[in-house]
Amino acid sequence: MSMQPTFLITDLLFFALTIGLIAFVFMVRKRPHLSRPWSQVLKSTTGSVSLMILLFYYAIALIDSMHFHPRVAQATESQYQYSSEVHSLLDVLMAPMRSRMEKTFSAPLATHSFSKEMMQGEEGQLQRDYPRLNYGGAHLTQPEEQKAADIISVSLQASAQALFYWALIWLFILWLYSQRNNQSLVTLLANVLRAKTTYPLRAIAMTSAILMLLTVVSMQLGQHYHLFGTDKVGQDVFYQAVKSVRTGILIGVLTTLITLPLAILLGALAGFFRGWVDDVIQYIYTTLNSIPHVLLIAAAVLLLQVYMSGHADDFDSLTERADLRLLFLCLILGITSWTGLCRLLRAETFKLREMEYIQAAEAFGVSKFKILMRHVMPNFMHIVIISVVLDFSGLVLAEAVLSYINIGVDPSMNSWGNMINQARLEMARDPIVWWSLSAAFVFMFTLVLFANLFADVVRDALDPRVVRGEQ
Amino acid sequence: MSLLVVNGLSTEIRGRAESNLVVSDISFQVERGETLALVGESGSGKSMTALSIARLLPPAARVSAGEIKLSGRDLMQISEREMRDFRGSKIAMIFQEPMNSLNPVLTIGDQIAECVRRHQSVTRLVARQQSIELLAAVGLPAPQRNIDEYPHQLSGGMRQRVMIAIALAAQPDLLIADEPTTALDVTIQAQVLDLLKDLQSQFNMGLLFITHDLAVVKQTADRIAVMHQGELVEHGTNEAFFASPKHAYSRALLEAIPTAQKRLQRDLEQDAKRVTEVTQLEGEAAVGPILSVRNLQVHFPIRGGVFRRAVDYVRAVDDVSFDLHAGKTLALVGESGCGKTTVGKAILQLLKSNQGSVLFQQHDLQSLNNEALRKTRRDLQIVFQDPYSSLNPRMLVGDILEEGMTALAVLKTAQDRKRKIKLLLDQVGLPADSVLRYPHEFSGGQRQRISIARALAVEPKLIVCDEPTSALDVSVQAQVLNLLIDLQAELGMSYLFITHDMAVVSYLADEVAVMHQGQIVEQGPTDQILLQPQHSYTQKLLAAVPSL
C-alpha cells in the first residue's frame, strides 16, 4: 500500500452527513407524497441547475476530505514509513499545483514574476528585471511570442477533450434513459434539444458541459501555468481557492447542524408551552445575545489554543490541530448564532399554537410532543430553510471576518477568509494584486448564489400552498 | 342619463400560461338614488367588477374589453390623475373588513378630515367640523368624543360607520359597498343597512351593493343582478326576482337557503327512514341527557402590575346551564363575543373553567384525570369554523383522518384504519384518492367535509360544531348542513351547534339556547323560541334577521 488512510474528526462528521443525506434521498424516493415536492425541484430549471453546481462543490469537498499519509520510504520488506504530512485525494488530482511554489507574487497566467529582482545578466552584469517563474510557463523558450498561442492551443485541446467525453457520457445517459422509457434515442434527443422533456435535461446537460469545460481547461492549463497567479509566498491561488471549498462548506454545514437543533427545539418549546419554559429560554438567549459574539468566539478559540499547546503530544500533525480548530470554530459559531432563528421560531409557534388544527389534535388527546413534531414544526420549516441559507452565506463570510482578527480557522488551513485577509494587505499596491481576492470572491459568490437560488426553489416546492400558485 | 353605465365589461387575470376571464361581458346601469345589488357566491367575479369600475384592480388583472361610463364620462379613457379625483368625489367604496380598512395609528378624525380636505379646499377647523357632522350623520353615539379616538377603541359596527362616513366625506355620486355587513353581527347589520338607505335618499346617491346574502338583498335592493362564474345570468327588479327567478342558478341559490319550511319538506322526504331512528333515539333520551352543563363559568384574567397578577376578569361565560339529549341538536345562538365558542371549548376541556360542572354521560369531565379524559375524548369531538385553519396544511388528508384513531387507539392495525378512512371519505362524499392529497387541493366546502370526517373517525357521541358553515357559500352551506343531518340520522350523534345564523338554527336544531354577554337568556324548543320569543334580546335578534 502506497498510503495510509487517516480520518480527521471533520472528515468523519462529513462522511456521516453524506451517508445521512443519501439515506434521506432513498427514504424520500420510497414515499410518493414526499418525493413529489422534490421532483418538483428537479423539474424546475433553476432547481436542477443549482443543485448540480452545489453537488459539484460538495464533490470537491468530499474528495478533499479523503485524507492519507503518503509513503516516504521503505524501511524493511513489510514496513513502510509514512510522512507525517496529511494529503487528500484532491491534492493527488491537482498534484503539480500543490508543490510548484514560486518565490512570490505572480499575475494570472504570467511567465514572469510580479516584482523586479536583482539578477545576473548573460554577461554577468547585475540588472533589475522581472525574473522568469520557476514553473509558470517554464516550458516556453520565447514566452512573449509563444504564450498566447500556447494558452489558446492548450485550452482548445482541453475543450475538445472535455466536449468529447461530455458527449460520450451524455449519449450513454440518454441511451439508458430512452431504454427505460421505451423511447427511441432520436426522438429523445430531439425532445432534449427542444427542451420538451419532463426534467430540464437540456439545462442540466449544458450546465455539465460548462462544468466539464471549466474543470478540464483549468486542470490542463494548471499543469503549465498558475491560472489565478500566485500569492505572497508563491503558492498557486487557484489551488488555494479550490482547497478552500472544503473549509467553506464545512463551516456552513457543520455550524448549521449545531444551530438547527438548538434553535428549533428551544424556539418551539418556548412558543408552545409559554409560561416559565418561555421565560427560561428567553433569559438564555437574551443573555447570550448581550455578550458580543466576537468576544465569546475569541475566548473559546484562545482557550482551545492553550489546550492544544499544553497537549502538543496528542496531535500527530499540524493538519490535525488545524482540523480541531475548525471543528471548534463551527461549534462556537453554532452556539452564538442560534438565537436569531430561535426568536423567529418562537414567534411563529405563538401564532401556530392558536391554529384550530392544533386544538383539534388536542381534542383527540394527541400528546404535546407529537403535536410539536407533527403540527408545529413542519409548519415553520419554510422559515428554517430560508434562514439556514441566509445564515450559510453569513457564516462563510463570518469566517473571513474572524480570520482578520486571527481567531478564525488556522492560518495554515486554506480558506477564503484567509485568502481575503492576506489579499487585503496587497490592495494598496500599485499595480494592484487583485487575483487572490477575485479568486476567493468568484468561488464564494458562486456557492452562495446557487445555494440561495436552490433554497428558493425548495421552499416553494415544500410549501403545499405555493405549488399550485394559490395564495 | 344613467349615473353609471357598464357596457360589455370583461376583466381578465393574467396567469403564467393563459389569461383567466373573471368577468365576462357584463352590462348594467345604476341610476341616481337607486340600489343595484350584485349577487353571487365567492369567485363569481362581483368584487372584480367593483374594482374594475373604481380602476383599483390588482396588478395581475386588467380590463380587457368594454366601457364604464360615469355621468357620461368613460372611466377607461381618463388619466390616472383625473381618476384619483374621481375616486372619493364621484365614486366611493366601502369594504368588507372594518377591522382592516382603517389605519390603526391615526385618529378617526384625521382619517375623515384627510378625505374631506382632499376634495374641498377648507381649513383644518372647517374640516374637523364637517367630520363631526359626518360622524353624527352615520349615527355614532358621541361624535365630539369619537373624532379623537383610535379605531381600536370602536366596535366593529362603529368602525364600519366610520368607513361609511369617510366614503361620504366628499359627497360621491356613486357608492360601491362590497359586502359591507358580512363581518358584522345581525343586529348591527340591520342598523348599518338602515343607515345606508337613509343616507342614500338624503344624498341621492347611486348604490352598487355587492353581497352574497339574498335576504339582505331583498331588504335593500331596487334591482338585482345575479353573477355566476363571471357572467351576469339574471337581471331584474327586486319584486320580479323573488317572485319568479328565471335563471336556474338563481333558483338554486334561493333553494339553498335553509329555512324552517325546507326542513319540514326534507323531513317528509325522509320520513320513512327517520321514523325508526327517531323512536329509537327517543327511547334513549328518556334515560337522561348525554351532556348536561351546570353553572359553567369561564373567566379570563386581565393581568397587570409588576407580578402579572390578575387584576380583573373578563367574564366570557357566566353561569351557563343546559341539557343535551342523545341524537338531538342543541343550537347555541348569539352574536360575536357572547361567549358561545368559549362554552364549546370548555365542554371539550380545551379551556379550563372556573366553576360549574360538565356532566357527560353522568361523569364530570373536569374531575377526570388525564388518562380518563383521554378515553372520554373519543366521545367528544369538534368541527371548527374556518376550514382553512382547522386542517394542518402540511399533512396529507389520510394522515389527518388517521391521527385521532392512532392517538385514541380506536383501531389497532393500520389496515383497519385504512379501511375506516375509506369508509369515512365515502360517508362525507369525498373521493377515495383524497387520502394522498393535501388540504389546499380542496375547496372550502370539501375541507369542511374533511373536518367532519376527522371528527367522525373516532366515532364520537357528541360533536361540537362551532359555526361550521359560516365561512361557506350558501349552496355549499346547504350541502354541509344536509350532510350533518344525514350523518346524525345514520349514526345517532348529538350536536351542540354553535352559530349566529338564525336560518341555520331553524333548519336543523331541535332546541335553541340564546346567549348574550356570557349568559343564556332563553332556551327551549326551536319552534317556541323562533315563533314566540319571550326575552327582549331574543326578540331584538330575531327582528334584526333579514328574511326572504
Cβ–Cβ gap B408/A364 under 8 Å: yes
Cβ–Cβ gap A465/B458 under 8 Å: no
Domain B261-544 in the same topology as domain B4-256: yes
The answer to whether residue A351 is domain-embedded is yes
Residue A369 in 3-state DSSP? helix
**What is the C-alpha separation between A48 and A51, in angstroms, rounded?**
5
The answer to whether residue A196 is domain-embedded is no
Inform me whether the C-beta atom of residue A367 falls under 8 Å from chain B C-beta atoms.
yes
The answer to whether residue A303 is domain-embedded is yes
Q: Which of B394, B441, B442, B498 to mutate against chain A (most A CBs within 10 Å)?
A: B394
- Mean pLDDT across the stretch B148-157? 82
* Predicted pLDDT at B15: 65
Domain that holds residue A414: 244-467
CATH number of B4-256: 3.40.50.300
DSSP string, B160-218: HHHHHHHHHTT--SEEEEESTTTTS-HHHHHHHHHHHHHHHHHHT-EEEEEES-HHHHH
| pLDDT (tens digit per residue) in B440-469 | 888 888 888 899 999 988 889 999 998 888
Q: Which of A34, A274, A364, A462 to mutate against chain B (most B CBs within 10 Å)?
A: A364
Inform me whether the C-beta atom of residue A359 falls under 8 Å from chain B C-beta atoms.
yes
Residue B341 binned pLDDT confidence (cut-offs 50, 70, 90): confident
The answer to whether residue A142 is domain-embedded is no
Q: What are phi and psi of A39, to 5 degrees?
A: -70, -25
Residues of chain B with Cβ-Cβ distance to A365 below 8 Å are 373-374, 377, 407-408
Amino acid letter for position A19: I
Nearest to B171 by CA among B101, B92, B81, B98: B92
> Exposure string (b/e) for A168-196, b if CB count within 10 Å is 16 or more?
eebeeebeebbeeeeeeeeebbebbeeee
Asked if the model's pLDDT at residue B130 lies above 50, the reply is: yes
The answer to whether residue A106 is domain-embedded is no
* Predicted pLDDT at A411: 82
Q: Which of B345, B378, B392 to mutate against chain A (most A CBs within 10 Å)?
A: B392
Cβ–Cβ gap B345/A379 under 8 Å: no
Nearest to B345 by CA among B308, B320, B363, B310: B320
Looking up residue A405, the CATH number of its domain turns out to be 1.10.3720.10
**What is the C-alpha separation between A358 and A353, in angstroms, rounded?**
6
Residue B394 in 3-state DSSP? coil
Cα end-to-end span (Å), chain A: 62
Asked if the model's pLDDT at residue B268 lies above 60, the reply is: no
Could you tell me the three cell numbers for B104? 390603526
Residues of chain B with Cβ-Cβ distance to A464 below 8 Å are 393-394, 438-440
Cβ–Cβ gap B389/A366 under 8 Å: no
Cβ–Cβ gap A361/B403 under 8 Å: yes
Q: How many CB atoms lie within 10 A of CB B334?
A: 25
Query: How many inter-chain contacts (A to B, CB under 8 Å) are there?
Result: 74
Tens digit of pLDDT per residue, chain A (471 long)? 567 888 888 899 999 989 988 998 898 888 776 787 888 888 889 999 999 999 999 999 999 998 888 877 665 666 667 777 788 888 888 877 877 888 788 888 888 788 777 777 777 777 777 777 777 777 777 777 888 888 888 899 999 999 999 999 999 988 888 888 888 888 888 888 887 888 888 899 999 999 999 999 988 888 888 888 888 888 888 998 999 999 988 988 889 888 999 999 999 999 998 889 999 999 999 999 898 888 888 888 888 888 888 887 877 778 888 888 889 899 999 988 899 999 999 999 988 888 888 988 888 888 889 899 888 988 888 788 878 877 887 887 788 788 877 788 888 888 888 888 888 777 777 778 888 888 988 998 899 889 889 888 888 887 766 544 333
Q: Between the CA of residue B366 and those of A340, A451, B1, B353, what are the distances in Å? A: 40, 53, 69, 8
Note if the bond before A431 is cis, omega within 30 degrees.
yes
Inform me whether the C-beta atom of residue B386 falls under 8 Å from chain A C-beta atoms.
yes
- Mean pLDDT across the stretch B388-400? 87
Inform me whether the C-beta atom of residue B115 falls under 8 Å from chain A C-beta atoms.
no
Residues of chain A with Cβ-Cβ distance to B403 below 8 Å are 361, 364, 366, 374
Asked whether B439 and B392 are in contact (CB, 8 A), the reply is: yes
Asked if the model's pLDDT at residue B274 lies above 50, the reply is: no
CATH 3.40.50.300 fits B261-544, yes or no: yes
Asked if the model's pLDDT at residue B78 lies above 90, the reply is: no
Spell out the domain ranges in chain B. Answer: 4-256, 261-544
Nearest to A360 among B373, B374, B454 (CB): B454
Q: Give the CA-trace dihedral at B128, B130, B132, B136, to 10 degrees.
A: -170
Q: Between the CA of residue A320 and those of A11, A86, A95, A313, B232, what are the distances in Å? A: 11, 8, 21, 12, 78
Cβ–Cβ gap B393/A465 under 8 Å: yes
* Predicted pLDDT at B269: 57
Higher pLDDT, A119 or B233: B233
Inform me whether the C-beta atom of residue B385 falls under 8 Å from chain A C-beta atoms.
yes
Q: Show the CA angle centred on residue A56, arms to residues A53 and A58, nearest 5°.
A: 110
Asked if the model's pLDDT at residue B344 lies above 50, the reply is: yes
B373–chain A nearest CA distance, Å: 8
B449–chain A nearest CA distance, Å: 14
Cβ–Cβ gap A359/B350 under 8 Å: yes
* Predicted pLDDT at B299: 86
Asked whether B153 and B72 are in contact (CB, 8 A), the reply is: no
Whether the model pTM is above 0.80: no
Cβ–Cβ gap A366/B407 under 8 Å: yes
Count how many domains chain A has: 1
* Predicted pLDDT at A470: 36
Percentage, residues of chain B above pLDDT 70? 93
Nearest to A252 by CA among A325, A324, A334, A323: A334
**What is the C-alpha separation between A202 and A207, in angstroms, rounded?**
9
Q: How many CB atoms lie within 10 A of CB A25?
A: 11
Cβ–Cβ gap A365/B407 under 8 Å: yes
Residues of chain B with Cβ-Cβ distance to A359 below 8 Å are 345, 350, 382, 384
Inform me whether the C-beta atom of residue A20 falls under 8 Å from chain B C-beta atoms.
no
Nearest to B404 among A359, A364, A374 (CB): A364
Asked if the model's pLDDT at residue B287 lies above 80, the reply is: no
Residue B233 in 3-state DSSP? strand
Query: Based on the number of CB atoms within 10 Å of its own CB, is A365 exposed (0-12), middle (13-18) or buried (19 or more)?
Result: buried
Q: Map grid coordinates 430512452 to a residue.
A: A178
Percentage, residues of chain B above pLDDT 90? 10
Could you tell me the three cell numbers for A375? 403540527
Cβ–Cβ gap B395/A378 under 8 Å: yes
Cβ–Cβ gap B384/A359 under 8 Å: yes
A178–chain B nearest CA distance, Å: 29
* Predicted pLDDT at A168: 93
Residue B43 binned pLDDT confidence (cut-offs 50, 70, 90): confident
The answer to whether residue A145 is domain-embedded is no
Q: Residue window 42-101, chain B: list those with CB within 8 Å of chain A.
A: none
Tell me the average pLDDT of chain B.
Answer: 84
Residue B495 binned pLDDT confidence (cut-offs 50, 70, 90): very high
Cβ–Cβ gap B16/A469 under 8 Å: yes
The answer to whether residue A100 is domain-embedded is no
B293–chain A nearest CA distance, Å: 18
